[in-house]
Amino acid sequence: MAYADGDVASVLRAADEPAAEDTAALIARVFPSLRAVSVEGEVLEETTYLPDGLTYAASFQGVDLVCDRRLMFDRPSELQAHILEAAVGRHVILHAIRSVSDWLSFTVCEDGRLVRSLSLSQDGGIVENIDDPFPFETPYWAGDRPVEFDPEWGEEPYALPFHPLELGN
């Protein structure tokens, strides 16, 4: 999940080291019942599916990141109110993928207002599809990025018009 003042990618490209005090405060806002303990960790890019109970977080100027499996929701629009309240005046981007079940879930809120929410998987189909798709989604919904059928999957073709992990990536 990202709390951002603007474009996340641009801010991260320009970011220095995360601020430890601000990161601890971030975790306290997102998980009020937890106590943050700063540790030397692994590179987030290499460990995106964290063990239960472990949170990776970093607070940079203009963007805060929180990675935790407790933020993986089947209905991402049901993001807890205290998480949105902690983002007043900012964008919230929640993104989750579970490759074992070909599941994608994301939601985008601006200043506490839901802009887009999507959750879907091969087995569960479309669980949530709120508001208009973003432009980057268009070729997927239009059928321009179909899943190529693999006989190893069985006799049925893929249940969705595109692969959720491809869209999620």
Q: Residue 156 has what pLDDT?
A: 66
The rounded distance, in Å, linking the Cα atoms of 77 and 80 is 9
Higher model confidence: residue 27 or residue 38?
27
In the chain the first and final C-alpha atoms are separated, in Å, by: 15
Q: Amino acid identity, residue 91?
A: H
- At residue 48, what is the residue type? T
Q: pLDDT tens digits for 37-76? A: 776 666 666 666 677 888 888 898 889 999 888 888 889 9
- Entry pTM: 0.86
How far apart CA 39 and CA 16 sit, in angstroms, is 18
Q: What is the pLDDT of residue 45?
A: 62
- Amino acid residing at 4: A
